[in-house]
Amino acid sequence: MVAMAIKLTPRSVTEKCGLCGREAAASADGPRLYLADRETAVCQGCGQKHAPSLAALVRLAQVARHVGRIGRHTVVPPMEALLALAQAAETYCTSVPAVARRAG
Ligand SMILES: [Zn+2]
């Protein structure tokens, strides 16, 4: 098992994935997956493979942030943005083990 952590990056950075060596997604600043014991980023694919709930949570945070930014400039965000947010939320909910869901 690979221990991972979510860390906030203050700026957009491009790093190699610490597990597969491919480029970890160079998203804008915000939450990203890292190896828990090192300052090494993890790509979305490896995150989904080794820590699916954390990867889904990072994705949910990224989509929510995007929709929030859109919402600052419009009364209602576009339907596609809201659907992306709903899909990210559903993916997160289904990625959390049943025991954790009952406890929360
Ligand atoms: Zn990887």
Query: How far away, in angstroms, is 64 Cα from ligand 1 center?
Result: 23
pLDDT at 46: 95
Query: How far away, in angstroms, is 77 Cα from ligand 1 center?
Result: 32
Query: How far away, in angstroms, is 49 Cα from ligand 1 center?
Result: 9
With contact defined as beta carbons under 8 Å apart, do 54 and 6 qualify? yes
pTM (2 d.p.): 0.80
Dump pLDDT digits (tens) for 4-46.
Answer: 999 988 777 778 999 999 988 766 678 889 999 998 999 989 9
What's the DSSP call for residue 42? -
Dump pLDDT digits (tens) for 67-78.
Answer: 988 878 888 889
Query: How far away, in angstroms, is 75 Cα from ligand 1 center?
Result: 38
Query: How far away, in angstroms, is 20 Cα from ligand 1 center?
Result: 4
Dump pLDDT digits (tens) for 42-100.
Answer: 998 999 999 999 999 999 999 999 898 887 888 888 999 999 999 999 999 999 876 66
Q: In a 3-state reduction of DSSP, which class is residue 1?
A: coil
Cα distance between residue 69 and residue 91, in whole Å: 21
Angle between helices 52-73 and 79-95 (to 10 degrees): 160
pLDDT at 26: 63
Query: How far away, in angstroms, is 10 Cα from ligand 1 center?
Result: 21
